[in-house]
Amino acid sequence: DTRSLCINVIDKLIELHQVDVKAAGLDSLGKGDGYVARQINGWSDRYLKAKTDDATDFQTVMDWLKANMPEDVGQCLIHNDFRLDNVVLETQNPLNVIGVLDWEMATIGDPLMDLGNSLAYWVQADDEPQFQMMRRQPTHLAGMLTRDEVVAYYLEKTGRSLDSFVFYEVYGLFRLAVIIQQIYYRYYHGQTQDKRFAGFAHAARYLETRCLRLIKGEG
């Protein structure tokens, strides 16, 4: 059952990426080619603006991303926050996905960047304790695909080929770190008193470590 749900969720992302945006009247959402570059430059700028005195600098990661940007593999409708905890399941058949929530970041862009975003949240059973502490969805359960299996399944179903997914995985983790750092920035400057955010600087620092390991080929 877990595997069936996992596949059904991934299939919805694939289905989303195959939407005819022009026929759906959504082509005005996009800004054209150059999506990858806009994302890397944009999220790098956001990190620098959200950096606090106790934050890691992420400079090596940002430099690597800018130096290794691939061309856009395509332009399609992307969700930009597609996760297991953003899908709606059918009451009578909870393995069936009947809806997707949180569309505020949806746009026209590169599908592999969208997949990279999703996998940043995909904490699997054999990940180290620091990453397990950040898990907010049941991707660690027996039957769930691993991140590598998700990528392989996606590529097979979409007919795409790719030598390495590392760039997109590093991008997804970096983007998540920026989001975490932006939240921590508000806490650091007293704009929110929510104590849950007190450790977010440590979380961002851990994500930098994961990025650096991937860049070095250490997984």
**pLDDT digits over 165-176, tens only?**
999 999 999 999
Task: Return mean pLDDT, the chain.
Answer: 96
The rounded percent of the chain whose pLDDT value lies above 70 is: 100
pLDDT at 49: 97
- Asked whether the predicted pLDDT for residue 190 surpasses 70, the reply is yes
Radius of gyration of the chain from Cα atoms? 17
* Beta-strand relationship, 76-78 and 107-109: antiparallel
Output the pLDDT for position 196.
Answer: 87
With cut-offs at 50, 70 and 90, classify the pLDDT of residue 219: low
| Average pLDDT of span 197-216 | 95
The tens digit of pLDDT for each residue in 81-130 reads 999 999 999 999 999 999 999 999 999 999 999 999 999 999 999 999 99
Average pLDDT for residues 57-69, to the nearest whole number? 97
pLDDT-derived band of residue 194, with 50, 70 and 90 as boundaries?
confident
Q: Residue 52: how many CA atoms within 13 Å on its side-chain side?
A: 20
Q: Identify the pLDDT of residue 128.
A: 96
The pLDDT of 183-191, averaged and rounded, is: 94
pTM of the model: 0.95
Separation between Cα atoms, residue 72 and residue 210, nearest integer Å: 24
Does 218 have pLDDT greater than 70?
yes
Core vs surface per residue 43-69: b (16+ CB within 10 A) or e = bbeebeebbeeebbebeebbebbeeeb
**Residue for token digits 């304790």?**
129
- Arithmetic mean of pLDDT, 75-80: 97
pLDDT of residue 76: 96
Angstrom distance (rounded) from CA 40 to CA 167 = 11
